[in-house]
Amino acid sequence: MRLFFLTLALAGAAAAAQPAGFRAVPAEAVQWQPIPNGQGAQSALIAGNPSQPGTYVIRVKFPPHVMDRPHHHSRDRHVTVLQGRWVAGTGPDFAPDRAQVLTAGSYMFHPAGGVHWDGSNSDETVIVQIIGEGPVTSADVDPALASWVKLPG
C-alpha cells in the first residue's frame, strides 16, 4: 500500500469561516506534507479523508522530473491538473517518454484497479487535484521497486 495515504489521513487543511455547510480553503492555507520516500513529492488533504467513507479531495505536488511507478487504486479517482505539464501513462510498463501530456485545466479519470503512473517529466513542478470516494487503498504493481523515481533532468 502506498504510504502517502497515511500522511494524507493525518494532514488537515485550514478553512475560512463560512456559513453552515460551506467551506473554503485559500491557497495559502493548503498544508503540504512530504510523501515518505517520494523524492520530494508532497501531498495536501483539502477535504475528507481517503481512509474513511465519503468524498475526499487531495492535491499532489510533483517536483521536476519526479514520477510515481505503475500502481492502482481500489476505487475510481478523478484527477485535474492545476499547475504544470503532468504526464500520465497506463499499464504496467513504466515508459515516461511515451506518457500522455496534460496541461493545467486538463482532466483524467482513473478507474478502480486501472494501472497507471504519472508525475513531472520536465523542469516544471506539477500540481494535480484528486477527488475520490473513500476508503481507498493503493498498491504498486512491483513492490520490489521504489514507488517514486527521480528521472534524469
Query: What is the domain count for the chain?
Result: 1
DSSP character at residue 45: E
> How sure is the predictor about 17, in pLDDT bands with cuts at 50, 70 and 90?
low
117: CATH: 2.60.120.10
User: Whole-angstrom Cα distance, residue 55 to residue 134?
Assistant: 6
User: Whole-angstrom Cα distance, residue 65 to residue 87?
Assistant: 10
State mean pLDDT over 55-61: 98
Residue 24 lies in a domain: no
Q: Which residue has better confidence, 49 or 18?
A: 49
Residue 47 lies in a domain: yes
